[in-house]
Amino acid sequence: MESKDWFLLTLLAAIWGSAFMFIKISAVDFGPILLVTLRLLIAGVVFMPLLLQRKYRLLFRSHLPGILIIGIFSNALPFTLFAFASLGATSNMLGILNGTTAFLTTVIAYFWLSESISTKQVIGLCLGFFGVIILVNPANGSATLTASLCALFGSLCYAFNGNYLQKYHANSDKKVLIGWSMLFGGILMVPIAAFNLPEAMPNLNSIFALLWLAVVSTGIGYLGYIRLIERIGAVKTSTLTYLLPVFSILWGAIFLQEKITIFIFGGFIFVMMGMYFSNTTTRVKK
């Protein structure tokens, strides 16, 4: 990897790691449903100048089934679950629980894609599961059980989506899939959002947080993500998974004065080890 690739990788991890902090800031004023709806619609608009180019317009119809599935399972549903989770959890907890996506992906791949699981990966799954147990322990005041479960189900959605893309869209155009799925995810949320409007106008901090989430974290962030995959491949780009929890803890401590408790530190260590071991290269079962 060239130095500019390392820079983009680290920058993207810092941006995505900050998303949990901005979700927590804005979810209270906007409400989880409206927040996610606006986030996806605005992010979809960011992609429009690219998607309306002729070569991408021609791919829309053939990619439409995938766009709808990804719009639900990679955008609308997990974004909403994490937004609800933010009402009962610190942003650093959200970032760490989001890290469980790595070993949940391994489990789904074993059953759905017939990928074998090595001894090293089994160890990773056990370590990761133990880390989750530490984090969702009622003695950990950093998150309620409901918030933790929302975040875990959100991570499960991301894990499903990763395997779905691998199984059905390995050769599809990622710009078309990701860009349109954001817009369609937002459109699907509009009827629900219409019945979940806030009673008062959100304050400026919440509005700024929404714009950061939509334009930077989601819109520009995913453009950078696609660029990284094109330059260094999906495997090397996946190292983002390890950096996100680190930045979520860092930003939460600096800007929200969130405490790094013994439960958070212990759970973080086990989840990180689980991510490392479970990301070992797998082989297809014979």
Phi, psi of 144 (to 5 degrees): -80, 165
Encode pLDDT of 153-209 as tens digits.
999 999 999 899 989 998 899 999 999 999 999 999 999 999 999 999 999 999 999
Tell me what pLDDT residue 283 has. 46
Question: Residues 94, 86: contact at Cβ < 8 Å?
Answer: yes
In whole angstroms, give the CA distance from residue 108 to residue 98. Answer: 16
Higher pLDDT, 277 or 10: 10
Q: Would you place residue 36 in the very low, low, confident or very high pLDDT band (cuts 50, 70, 90)?
A: very high
Residue 280 pLDDT: 61
Reply yes or no on whether the pLDDT at 140 is more than 90.
no
- Collect all residues with Cβ–Cβ distance below 8 Å to 141 and sequence separation of at least 6: 261
Other Cβ atoms closer than 10 A to 88: 16
| Segment among 36-40, 187-191, 251-255 with least mean pLDDT | 251-255
Residue % of the chain over a pLDDT of 70: 95
Range scoring the smallest mean pLDDT among 38-42, 129-133, 250-254: 129-133
Q: What is the mean pLDDT of residues 4-15?
A: 90
For the cut 60, the answer to whether the pLDDT of residue 282 exceeds it is no
Read off the pLDDT band of 285 (50, 70, 90). very low
Q: Indicate the pLDDT class of residue 71, thresholds 50, 70 and 90.
A: very high
Q: Lowest-pLDDT range, 57-71, 157-171, 223-237?
A: 223-237
The band of 236, judged by pLDDT with boundaries at 50, 70 and 90, is: confident
Mean pLDDT computed over 217-239: 84
Backbone phi, psi, residue 115, to 5°: -90, 135
Q: For the chain, give the mean pLDDT.
A: 90
pLDDT digits (tens, 9 = 90+) for 75-109: 999 999 999 999 999 999 999 999 888 888 888 98
Place of tokens 């369609």: 184
Cα(230)–Cα(69) distance, rounded to whole angstroms?
23
Predicted local distance difference test score (pLDDT) of residue 235: 60
Contact 264, 95 (CB under 8 A): no
Q: Which pLDDT does position 244 carry in this prediction? A: 87
Residues 6 or more apart whose CB falls under 8 angstroms from that of 24 comprise 86, 90, 91, 94, 256
Q: What is the mean pLDDT of residues 136-159?
A: 88
Which pLDDT score, from 0 to 100, does residue 234 have?
Answer: 66
